[in-house]
Chain A
């Protein structure tokens, strides 16, 4: 420490450095290693959205020349800016993955402008050409997984009623609900899906109440789109209903009642970003993909899935693996009777219209 000009700032910095030196387990960073920071909005072991990212982070930890740092339960407030700054300043991170949707604006954008040499990649589809070039987005077409969930659900359902616990009526959730029902209706056109919105991403009590209400209403296969499907999966299986998973594999929570699930697979995206960084290039700004790209995958089939159901789902999955699959295709009406698409038209997976979905398709009981 050479303190030539002595100011208050230096004094503080010096105090910080001293306390760092005093650390018994001060970390020695390998020279030239790339440090990557992951930021999660909830706990890493939530059997849900955050765990999907944390699993990928864990898989990365063995990679040579790479250091992975993580921080969980960071709220979508200016606290996340401080977490980003802290990872950059104290840990030397040069690639950051703030994974929660609400981190993007204004927090990630502010930090990206402030730190032009640091790369920020955000989970979601928010990045546009107007945004800083050292920022970017990645996301997966997971509605494909919910469509396959629906196929398997329809085969397992005896009451021909299935249920969906949703967090908020926003486009991403609505797409999943629509895909779940349309998948089911591709097997059994008379099937209906009741949806209950809890209003928030993580509300365990309401999620349990919603699951119970769906089952009381006659639904015998349940799926969901909340941050942590743990409560929904456990409640449904305890009540004897089948469940389809979301975000990650929840089969350990309900080994007998778990049919299959729509899972994220973020690892290939992260590996690509890191490979680009290690090659000295900036990682891509906008990455999207579905089953065909390996960004979305299905949980292994559970014991409740019949042979017919497996064959049916596998056949559709093979179609999806070719790319460009359209779940939303005409003729299609919403559940108020309004036409969404005329016969012969379709929204394939990459269609921009799917980013602003405001409807529930005919057969879904519930309102936006």
Chain B
């Protein structure tokens, strides 16, 4: 799997795509694959404050419920309402199925996230474990 280079990644398998002061967040293809069929995505309300590294929602698959972690701090400006009725979109196209958008509080936080190449290396190590 080639990971898009237009975004940054967390070790908890979220991606964030930055556009000016706004960030778009989703989970990676590796994450959807290890979760299996996703049946429910729980996102926060518009206006919620997210803190980098803290849980902001959950994703439920037939196997387990997993926390979603914020790649960066900020205020939620928009959530992807489509996922409420079509959670399978995340399985079909994880990198195209965003979960929320937020206005970034501190864009310099993104410097500590992984590049596509580093994330790919990280995942290869984790899968080999």
Task: State whether these chains interact.
Answer: no
